Structure 1
Amino acid sequence: MMDERNALFTDQTFARAIAFIWREAELLDHRDYRVWLEMWDPKGHYVVPIDPQTTDYASTLNYAYDDHHMRELRVQRMTSGFSASASDAARTVRTVSRFTLSDDSADLVEVKSSQIVIAYKRGASTIFAADLTHKIDMSSGEPRLVEKVVRLIDSTEALSAIGFLL
């Protein structure tokens, strides 16, 4: 009976984590960055590494390695209307799928998935594909992002038009 309870707990937690990740994608597509910021644990990190193998984000070069302060600055820049990324922002549609539960404890859930982002700007569509890792703190009853790592499949190539959150 205990195994069934653990499986049920894991299934419910996994389903909540997936719903949380889909909600994040929806917020980003609708450019609701203020609400997106509220999804984060203040100690969390948003990471888009260049090196596809790195796990030491603090010691390597990244497209983004944002703590709480840097996420707020990025959102401020994107919503102010004073930067090119704000005044001429791409419209995006995300598809997030292939969810796997990597680690599951009572408080922290790690979910790996894949993401395709279609970004439309100035009459052209650009595709961004990535493997994602979300670490989600479930301890307070309200899920909070502790870490999001976006591993672009072409991260070692020269990339342009990433004026939005992945």
Structure 2
Amino acid sequence: MAADADKTELMHEVTQFIHREARLQDAHEYDDWEALWTDDAVYWVPANGEDIDPEREMSIIYDNRSRIALRIKQLHTGKRHSQTPRSRLARVVSNIELLDSGAAEIRVAANAMVFESNMRGETLWATRNEYTLRRIDGALRMARKKVVLVNNDKALFTLSFLI
């Protein structure tokens, strides 16, 4: 029974973390979103399938921790506008599943639908997300996030927000 209670508590904590991450992205609160990452983080959005080698094939995003910070810093300069006005976003996250809850890392998967409204119209993005989470100073942090766009094998509109 204690193991079930521990797993239920972990699932609740993981779910809250993933929902908070989605809210921060939707609100374009990228400084707070950046704080969710570990120092050795990898953020990956593959192109042309999900099982490619990002070191050898093109990805939509394949960022380490310093590149994540640089993207956000560039947004703050006002000189790297990705869009004006910026998109209004709303995510629905579902099917959150604990894949492995080892002592050092927690692997999680979830589906998401991202609704984007901007000057060119509305777009619906469907994703399957994979997370590797670690506990740092008692709080969960993302060590790895892989976002597989369902339609990543087709031509995509410019992604002018961080998915």
- TM-score of the aligned structures, taking structure 2 as reference length: 0.92
1-structure distance, mates of 2:35, 2:81:
25
Note if contact 1:48-1:64 (Cα within 8 Å) is conserved in structure 2: yes
Question: Please, which of 54, 57, 61 is the counterpart of residue 58 of structure 2?
Answer: 61
Deviations 1:126-153 (A, max 9, x none): 1111100111102531111011110000
Question: Please, which of 67, 70, 80 is the counterpart of residue 67 of structure 2?
Answer: 70
2-structure distance, mates of 1:71, 1:123:
26
- What is the aligned length? 163
1:14 corresponding residue in structure 2 = 11
1:101 and 2:98 aligned? yes
Is the deviation greater in 77-86 or in 135-144? 77-86
Question: Please, which of 82, 86, 89 is the counterpart of residue 89 of structure 1?
Answer: 86
Please tell me the residue identity of whatever aligns with 1:52.
G
Please tell me the residue identity of whatever aligns with 2:137.
S
Q: Give RMSD over aligned pairs.
A: 1.6
1:161 corresponding residue in structure 2 = 158
Note if contact 2:130-2:145 (Cα within 8 Å) is conserved in structure 1: yes
2-structure distance, mates of 1:15, 1:56:
33
1:91: how far off?
1.3
Deviations 1:80-134 (A, max 9, x none): 3222315332111111111111111123111111010011111611111110011
1:27 and 2:24 aligned? yes
Please tell me the residue identity of whatever aligns with 2:61.
A
Q: For residues 16 and 40 of structure 1, do their structure 2 counterparts lie closer, same or farther at Cα, with a shift above 3 Å needed?
A: same
Structure 1 residue runs without a partner (length 5+): none
2-structure distance, mates of 1:107, 1:15:
18
2:116 corresponding residue in structure 1 = 119
2:49 corresponding residue in structure 1 = 52
Deviating beyond 4 angstroms after TM superposition, the runs of 4 or more aligned structure 1 residues are none
2-structure distance, mates of 1:21, 1:7:
21
Structure 2 residue runs without a partner (length 5+): none
- TM-score of the aligned structures, taking structure 1 as reference length: 0.91
2-structure distance, mates of 1:68, 1:87:
26
1-structure distance, mates of 2:131, 2:48:
18
Q: For residues 123 and 59 of structure 1, do their structure 2 counterparts lie closer, same or farther at Cα, with a shift above 3 Å needed?
A: closer
Identity of aligned residues (%): 25
